[in-house]
Structure 1
Amino acid sequence: MGVSVMEGFTKSLAMTILSEIGDKTFFVAAIMAMRHPRRFVLAGSLGALYIMTVISVFFGWAAPNVLSRKFSHLVTTVLFFAFGLWSLWEGLTEGGASEELAEVEAKLSADPKENGISAKATVKSKVNDDTKKQERPFLTQFFSPILLEAFSLTFFGEWGDKSQIATIGLAADENPVGVVLGGILGHTLCTAAAVFGGKTLAARISERMVAVSGGILFVIFGIQSLLTKVENV
């Protein structure tokens, strides 16, 4: 590819952090961590984000092998500029992360599991408890329902998101190993921050500044990509 692992790592790390702070999946982790054991929320969220990162990088890596190198490079350049302008628009207009927070809170509050009384509290005998365990879905016998909920909400919330598409575009132009490592570290830092104090952090960080910074970063990536000559191989 002619590009270093470190370059892909640095770009992916910066892009992930600026894309995920104040994102929907950030607030999913933050709000769930206030209501459930943090270790389950952290494990479920990170598991989903790691898998999504690998999938996205795979798509980006495969794109130049399916399409021409010049065409995939052009698409990547357009994506960087498009997402840069999108983020700048979000940062210069009202809404943004506040709407994301309200949407996530409404969705989680509507979850019947949040308002229901745990069935385990009503189990009076070991026989009934064993029966209930056997009736659970297969996966919940081995994984916490909270972990699975955090995983599913994060995975499907990230699917098709701006950061996922940007990761695909970045992997098409940069070293895929570096993009994976940078994305994993970026997601780890953001999700850990969300789980261990996300709502406080989100209240202190300027939504507008994060969006504008992310937009500027995407535009810089776009300019760099535009100035990079790629041979059609």
Structure 2
Amino acid sequence: MSSVLQGFTKSLAMTVLSEIGDKTFVAAAILAMRHPRRLVLSGCLAALIVMTILSAVVGWAAPNLISRKWTHHITTLLFFGFGLWSLWDAFTDGGDAEELAEVEKKLDADFKANAGNIKKGSKDDDELKKKRPFLSQCFSPILLKAFSITFFGEWGDKSQLATIGLAADENPFGVVLGGVVGQALCTTAAVLGGKSLASQISEKMVALSGGVLFIVFGFQSFLSSVES
């Protein structure tokens, strides 16, 4: 039970400090301003939950492919590396507004490109919706768009790699649970808070806090014994 709680606590703290204010957070906030919030929230959350589970499975399988000793040492190095990476970002990147503008610009271009098609097919869509089965209506283009933007935005991200490392060294169930709760909190805040919340978050402070947290995890991992 204590191992599950430890994995949950570490994963929750890491997820919140890694995800809040990042590109997928901003994208969710902007999408929620233009589309129904329930669809954006459903798509983003589904992508993040799938990504968390996949990452935890990879981390859980790692000790079966490599010796427990080596996965422990690799995880320790990952924590120190991510900690220094986050601290570097905190002191060198001053472009919170630029990142927000960049994400908004990309989504803006996509939104304008699709606007004409949506208007043209609106009448046909209304007729088709009556004929479509309920299940197919649930998988709307908006939900799928939110899912794909979030999933591919998170692929290879620092938080994904950190989840793999954490699951290799901690209880995978606790890591998944903490990650899902953390993702749900961040994504809900992004969807409900909108662009104003995204623009008010100090990415420098988040990166600084995340860097310190990763280094603390690194020291804890370095000082702990390897379980056989």
Conserved 8 A contact 1:108-1:114: no
**With structure 2 as the length reference, what TM-score do the two structures score?**
0.90
What SS does the corresponding residue of 1:196 show, helix, strand or coil?
A: helix
Cα separation, partners in 2 of 1:98 and 1:115, compared to 1, 3 Å? farther
Alignment of 1:113 with 2:114, yes or no, is yes
Which of 197, 207, 211 is the equivalent residue of 1:211?
Answer: 207
Conserved 8 A contact 1:26-1:198: no
What SS does the corresponding residue of 1:77 show, helix, strand or coil?
A: helix
Conserved 8 A contact 2:96-2:202: no
Q: How many residues align?
A: 224
1:123 deviation in Å? 4.0
Conserved 8 A contact 1:23-1:97: no
**With structure 1 as the length reference, what TM-score do the two structures score?**
0.88
Give structure 2 stretches of 5+ with no counterpart.
Answer: none
Which residue in 2 is equivalent to 1:93? 92
Cα separation, partners in 2 of 1:94 and 1:142, compared to 1, 3 Å? closer
Cα separation, partners in 2 of 1:25 and 1:114, compared to 1, 3 Å? farther
1:98 deviation in Å? 3.3
Superposed CA offset, 1:143-180 (max 9, x none): 11100000011011111000000000000011111100
Which residue in 1 is equivalent to 2:181? 185
Superposed CA offset, 1:44-85 (max 9, x none): 000000000000000000001110001101110111011101
Which residue in 1 is equivalent to 2:58? 59
* Equivalent residue runs for 1:18-167 within 5 Å: 18-111=17-110, 112-114=113-115, 116-123=117-124, 129-130=127-128, 141-167=137-163
Q: Which amino acid aligns with 2:180?
A: I
Cα RMSD after superposing both structures: 2.3
Cα separation, partners in 2 of 1:130 and 1:116, compared to 1, 3 Å? closer
Cα separation, partners in 2 of 1:38 and 1:141, compared to 1, 3 Å? closer
Which residue in 1 is equivalent to 2:216? 220
| Counterpart-to-counterpart distance in 1, 2:224 and 2:11 | 18
| Counterpart-to-counterpart distance in 1, 2:109 and 2:3 | 46
Superposed CA offset, 1:4-36 (max 9, x none): 110000000000000001111101110000000
